[in-house]
Structure 1
Amino acid sequence: MSAPHTTPGSTGGSETPGPLHGGPDEEYTPERLATMTREELDLLGARYDGVQVLHVDPAPEPGSRVEKAAVRQVAMTFALAGLSAFAAFVVYAGSGWFLPDWQWDITEGGWSALFTPLIGGLGGLALTLVGVGMVLFTKKLLPHETAVQDKHDGSHFDRVTTGASLMGGLNTYGLARRKLITRSLVFMGGGVGLMLLMPLGGLIRNPNVGNPLGTTSWTEGMRLLRGDGSPIRPGDQQPGSLETVFPAVPGGNLESDAATMLIRLRPEQVSLERPREGQDDFGYGDYVAYSKICTHAGCPVSLYEQETSRILCPCHQSQFDVTQGAKPVFGPATRPLPQLPITVDDEGFFVARSDYIEAVGPTYWNRERI
């Protein structure tokens, strides 16, 4: 059974006279321990704990050329880690999450195409340099000691001497006098801290502002362009053919949610056409335009069987009848493909009359219009 002064929270018997349990042969009262220096307490605790030092490689002499070179090397590594972390944050801020007024111009090439690789590369480099800096600091600026130590239960004596050992270890690190490393650590901590906050960007900026899942780039009067950027006139397509078109926005637009199928119906299909309610005038002559995004799981649909008037999705075999307002007639899709209202401009080219009146894409996407 344990003595009262060995239980958790005990002062080690310091409140009673006589030799203290947990101390060495000599009597060390709390008052006597309070008069000892940290170095003395550190040595006393080590001796009491049965520490046997087997080997010591001393740290570089303070102020020596070796130490100064090691300090510069470690500080440079930490500073580069901070720069990499800040750079990763700047790249991420360009997405608009933290700086809405400054965003990348999304293009097929250029810096915007490297957005994700830059974030991953710079973030990975920053964390790698943090590890390299810590290894260099440990290897080049700290003494290396091999020792064997027995462990004891807690007492006031143990707590005081262990605290002195910890403070002695902090003094051994030499951060208080190695200001260059301290400053680089602060700089690195700021950069890495910001970098680790990047995943919270979605909590800072509401991604649903402007109803991005309910709108596309199509607007009134915007021309329908082929993938090569050329506009289309009625008569450019053969009856029964399909052409994938995109909105004519500055710089080009190949965004997947704006991809649209422009279909020219055959004469017999025109006679069978039954538009959806309220969409009788969405087509132009024998042309109709439907979203290329399947309403089941978002796959691109463009397999068109003109003999059966059906658009097929290759992912899960949903089929949509273009003569019935692209209503699903087979497969897992339950919602028709949204139809883009079209007409022609003064020069005779196809243009959109508005954006889609319903959200494109899967049925589980948010459809509230703003």
Structure 2
Amino acid sequence: MSVDHPDVPPEVPSDEDLARMDRDELVRLGTKLDGVELVEYPDPWPVKGTRAEKRAERMVAFWFAVSGLTGLAFVVAFIFWPSKYVAPDQDGYFLYSLYTPVLGLTLGIAILALGVGVLNYTRKFIPHEIAVQERHDGGSKDVDIRTVVAQLADTGHRSTIARRPLIKRSLAFGGGVLGLAITVVPLGGLLRNPHAQSSNENGLLHTGWLHHGAEKVFLRRDTGDPSQVELVSPADLDAGSMETVFPFRESERGDHEALLKALNRADNPVMLIRLRPDDAQKVIKHAGQEDFNYGDYYAYTKICSHVGCPTSLYEQRTNRILCPCHQSQFDALQYAKPVFGPATRKLAQLPIKIDPDTGYFISTGDFIEPVGPAYWERKS
């Protein structure tokens, strides 16, 4: 669980002190800096080497071994089982008819057995901690990164996996063969390079709001007809209202495929909000984004920073942006920071202004922070 608390600068050791700390000291420091209180952290096997412990270890290893054997059977069947079509009235039809069921059965058992093994190991050997953690605003500092690494290493140590060679070998066998079984079917087409060049519009580092040269990127609404382009001006929104907008470039006008792509791309939807005049005086802006708004108008991604659901609800009275999937709430008056629910990171803000030539809204650039669930470590 997590709770909000005022931002109080923690007492951080120097780099020299950090370098001298061992894992246990870093774990205690990280717990303190994270505002974590361990209510319960029991050792599941306080008496080592008992029959019950060894029996539990053998049971986990059994499931991992089953996963490995059935995964290996899947690979063998996939490669060597007769798969060429045979008519029902011809010899060999019986073996051919079993091809798909055998693949499904062996791969299904391999995945199920690995999952059962992991669940049993978690239940039997991982300490079942109960902790309370305060919610922090902002990115990760170097001390946070070091202490988290130490906490992960400590978790592995406390799980006792290092002194259980039977489980490690069976897990390597089951997990390795299952990975081989899954990758038998080519997956290359599903991979994307998150470090694509900035000129690559499809890269994960940018969205459809990326600017190409000097071409303007307007804010347009979705009318239900991709070819019908309606741009948005300040007069279109009443105070306290919200509208979903998408990127539009004049070079795309008349290009049905490009217009449809702009409306369908998952990271393009933006929530354009016009605050009420009294509320606009209470706004707290994020550092480095003080000029991202235009007067009372603010634009935030609709992609929730928790798991990527659409934050499609705006509550005018409280100025809360709501995500209906897991009930995360973001405060539009405080740079869309999370104030309730599982989300821990603010919604990305799109920089906007008015085009002096047309009077319509345009973006001044792409987002400068991750949209939706981030896949890289942020330090600011």
| TM-score interval for Structure 1 and Structure 2 normalised by the shorter chain | 0.3 to 0.5
Structure with higher Rg: it is 1
Task: Report the TM-score, using the length of structure 1 for normalisation.
Answer: 0.46
Query: What is the TM-score normalised by the length of structure 2?
Result: 0.45
